[in-house]
Amino acid sequence: MSTKFSDVFFASAEQTIVDVLRYRALSQPDQLAFTFLPDGETEGEHLTYAELERRARAIAAQLQALGLSGERCLLLYPSGLDYVAAFFGCLYADIVAVTAYPPRNKRNTPRIKAIWADAQVA
């Protein structure tokens, strides 16, 4: 159940962030959801609510086709909007996203393996 007041969406305790994204994609599809600031100040790429939902649904469909619903998934992404879409894709697919920066070189492989093992990702 939700309440709409002056175009502001108030989520109830039963709603999830996915419910909020779906609502925003329907009610404000062209509004910016995220803006990536590559250097922390300068605006880079943008994602609208509609585009974010479209990308998240596509990623979720692929993850579900692999039978990963209900599992954990390791996301190795640099900062950016691809990470945001993948994270929401996991949420749409009922997958727990375990996030880490991708390794820069082979020295970081043990760190990734430790995260993989500790999180028990699929």
Q: Among 6-10, 18-22, 92-96, 111-115, which stretch is predicted with the lowest mean pLDDT? A: 6-10
pLDDT at site 4: 42
CA dist 25 and 42 (Å) reads 25
CATH of domain 2-119: 3.40.50.980
The more confident residue out of 9 and 86 is: 86
Residue 100 bridge partners (DSSP)? 76
Q: Tell me the pLDDT tens digit for each residue of 76-111.
A: 999 999 999 999 999 999 999 999 988 888 888 888
**Each residue of 67-89: b (16+ CB within 10 Å) or e?**
ebeebebebebeeebbbbbbbbb
Structure tokens of 94? 């009922």
pLDDT at site 9: 57
Output the average pLDDT for the chain.
89
Residues 96, 88: contact at Cβ < 8 Å? no
Q: Render 69-93 in DSSP notation, one character per residue.
A: TTSEEEEE--SSHHHHHHHHHHHHT
pTM value > 0.85: no
pLDDT at site 8: 56
Q: Tell me the pLDDT tens digit for each residue of 23-38.
A: 999 999 999 999 999 9
Q: In which region does residue 95 sit, left (phi positive, over 0), alpha (psi from -120 to 50) or beta (all else)?
A: beta
pLDDT at site 3: 39
10 pLDDT more than 80: no
